[in-house]
Structure 1
Amino acid sequence: MKLVLTLLIFTAFLSGCKSTPPMYMYENYSESFYALKKESGHESDAQWQSSLESIVQKSNAKAVRVPPGIYANLGYIQLKSNNYPKAIEFFEQEKSIYPESSRFMENLIKKAKVKG
């Protein structure tokens, strides 16, 4: 009886140690955003865009959902460079993945359509 009880406790302990895969792949988002705010300019914008695109690629490769705000930030970068169709595309992607952002994304899409 003691052996069975010991095995059950040991099995419960080991099953509690199983790690779950991450929901999102944020990579170096914080560092790249900090660099953007610290030294704003074309070069830091390009580095931030590259960082965001890397997050999207790695998320897709690992079959995890792209973190919230990544497509919106990519859309914002495109909006700043007057690439309105691409900005709208990114805003639509953000809206489709995160429906709770629909109202905000719709406002950005309307502004991009007016400017474009």
Structure 2
Amino acid sequence: MKKILTTILLLSLFASCSVSPYYWGSYEKVTYKYNKNMTPEARANVMENYQSVINYCKQSTSKEVPPGIYADYGYLLIQDGQVDLGKSYMEKEMELYPESKKIVTYLLDRIK
């Protein structure tokens, strides 16, 4: 009986350890640095990182773009004057993550 309980416990422990379907790259680190110190260099770095995460996920068969990346990148593009491209990224965010629709719509409405 102990062997069965131990086996079940171990199996449930291993089953709870899952691998994220998302590729974050350096998202957390560069976003923190940018929000802490909004210099042009930090902005260029964060935009480059977001684009590299998106490109990596497009080429990957097992990883998806994490929630928020398309919206963050789109918002930065809009701030840089690339309104149509930025809007397309924000619409992609709403398409992939419908729960983001309310906040993304709010941001898009503020742009108009």
One fold, TM greater than 0.5?
yes
Q: Which range is displaced more, 70-79 or 58-67?
A: 58-67
Query: By how many angstroms is 1:6 displaced?
Result: 4.2
Moved over 6 A (4+): none
Determine which structure has more spread, i.e. the larger CA radius of gyration. Answer: 1
TM-score by length of 1: 0.75
* Aligned residue in 2 for 1:53: 51
- Cα deviation for residue 11 of structure 1 reads 2.3
Shift of 1:62: 5.3
1:8 matches 2:8: no
Structure 2: which 5+ residue stretches go unaligned? none
CA deviations on 1:2-35 (whole Å, 9 max, x unpaired) are xxx3442342133123221124333322211121
The question of whether the paired residues in 1 share the 8 Å contact of 2:74 and 2:88 is answered with yes
**Structure 1: stretches of 5+ with no match in the other structure:** none
Percent of aligned positions that are identical: 23
**Length, aligned pairs only:** 109
Q: Is the 8 A contact 2:21 2:62 kept in 1?
A: no
- Residues 1-116 of structure 1 mapped to structure 2, 5 A cutoff: 5-18=1-14, 19-60=17-58, 61=60, 63-112=62-111, 114=112
RMSD, aligned CA: 2.3
TM-score normalised according to structure 2 size = 0.77
